[in-house]
Amino acid sequence: MKVFDYIIVGQGIAGTVLAFQLRLKGKHVFVIDKYRDSTSSKIAPGTYNPMVLKRFTPCWKVEEQLSSLYHFIEAFETSFNTIIHKPLRLLRKFASIQEQNLWLEKSDHNRLIPFMNSSFISNPYKDINADFGFGEVKKSGWVDFSLLISKFKQKLEDDGCFLDEDFDYNSMLIRQNTVTYKSISAQKIVFCEGHRLTKNPFFNYLPLIPTKGELITVKLEGLKVQELIKSNITLLPLGNDVYKVGATFNWDDKDEVCSVKAKEELLIKLKDLVNINPVLIKQFAGLRPTVKDRRALLGAHPNHDNMFVFNGLGTRGLLISPYLALQLIEFMEKSVDLDPEVDIKRYKNEMPC
């Protein structure tokens, strides 16, 4: 029997960030993840920004989240001697004079001053349609999710701490202080399964709603945009005139299959923004793990003290995961209370008897 401190099920952004932080604290971690191409973490562009760009408000706990994100990136880049992060200027396209006025008003608010440039940016690109110009959002950027996940997976494999298979709940034996799974034993187990939480017999009572999102990569010959541009779509420059464009939101479809409808929606929105004919390179589809109250799902199973969940990262998995992973670790290691807004205790009445 191999003995560990933690078994982590799922190695998307949630499982990766949590397992990495636990290892930094000297914990022995075993990760089980079934390889799939189209998980939310594998297809996401990996951008982050500190604001809700519809209303020009700060994100939930943004100062704490950014600080944890920067610490995580620095520690990961140092551990793996690799660069995963690129700060990027974000330009939010204004749709009207009213939006410009709202921007001016909000950029004077104390909490938003570090994130908003109060001056308008006039459109520097002849092939971009932006008659009302842009507002610049500071402290935005991009993390290479696939490099982050694959580097960490390789390390786990090298250390003999990784299994590529679908977790079989019937093979788990849970006792008061130990969890055993086949030939592995640990003190605690954490489920980081993204939208597949809906199939987990211990946590499927939680109100996780998979929300489908699709993206395309396109070539836009000669555009030369350097910034992350946000209108009703996001345009992320990948270099060599290639851009990632997304994303759609679909609450009805529950599959990870690319659709013609989403491709057309993205191409129509792209045509509104850019005057160059796009050459489609690839399309991606995934399911975001979203929650009805838009807060993450963290905590211990009501009947098993050593079984935990880390999920519900929604549309902003990158920004939120380092902050919440640290909270969960404090909870699991030192019984420090979780923020009630993310603690799954808020759904205890939904648990079947």
Ligand X SMILES: Cc1cc2nc3c(=O)[nH]c(=O)nc-3n(C[C@H](O)[C@H](O)[C@H](O)COP(=O)(O)OP(=O)(O)OC[C@H]3O[C@@H](n4cnc5c(N)ncnc54)[C@H](O)[C@@H]3O)c2cc1C
Interface with ligand X (CB under 6 A): 9-15, 32-34, 36, 39-41, 43-48, 166-167, 192-196, 213, 215, 246-247, 286, 288-289, 311, 313-319
The rounded distance, in Å, linking the Cα atoms of 331 and 326 is 9
Give the helix/strand (H/E) hosting 64: helix 62-80
The rounded distance, in Å, linking the Cα atoms of 335 and 112 is 34
Whole-number minimum distance, CB 126 to ligand X, in Å?
27
Whole-number minimum distance, CB 72 to ligand X, in Å?
13
| Residue placing its CB nearer to ligand X in the complex, 87 or 275 | 87
Are 7 and 190 in contact by the 8 Å Cβ rule? The answer is: yes
Whole-number minimum distance, CB 65 to ligand X, in Å?
11
| Residue placing its CB nearer to ligand X in the complex, 131 or 252 | 252
The rounded distance, in Å, linking the Cα atoms of 62 and 188 is 30
| Residue placing its CB nearer to ligand X in the complex, 27 or 230 | 230
The rounded distance, in Å, linking the Cα atoms of 89 and 104 is 18
Instruction: Report DSSP letters for 66-129, one per residue.
Output: HHHHHHHHHHHHHHHT---EEE--EEEEP-SHHHHHHHHHHTTSGGGTTTEEEEEE----TTB-
Whole-number minimum distance, CB 333 to ligand X, in Å?
21
The rounded distance, in Å, linking the Cα atoms of 256 and 97 is 39
Whole-number minimum distance, CB 233 to ligand X, in Å?
11
| Residue placing its CB nearer to ligand X in the complex, 108 or 157 | 157
Whole-number minimum distance, CB 41 to ligand X, in Å?
3
Instruction: Report DSSP letters for 196-220, one per residue.
Output: GGGG-TTTTTS-EEEEEEEEEEEE-
| Residue placing its CB nearer to ligand X in the complex, 204 or 277 | 204
| Residue placing its CB nearer to ligand X in the complex, 102 or 310 | 310
Question: CA-CA-CA-CA torsion for 150, 66, 23, 317, nearest 10 degrees?
Answer: -50
Whole-number minimum distance, CB 198 to ligand X, in Å?
10
| Residue placing its CB nearer to ligand X in the complex, 102 or 209 | 209
Q: How far is CA 58 from CA 55, 70, 106, 318, in A?
A: 9, 17, 10, 16
Give the helix/strand (H/E) hosting 311: strand 304-311
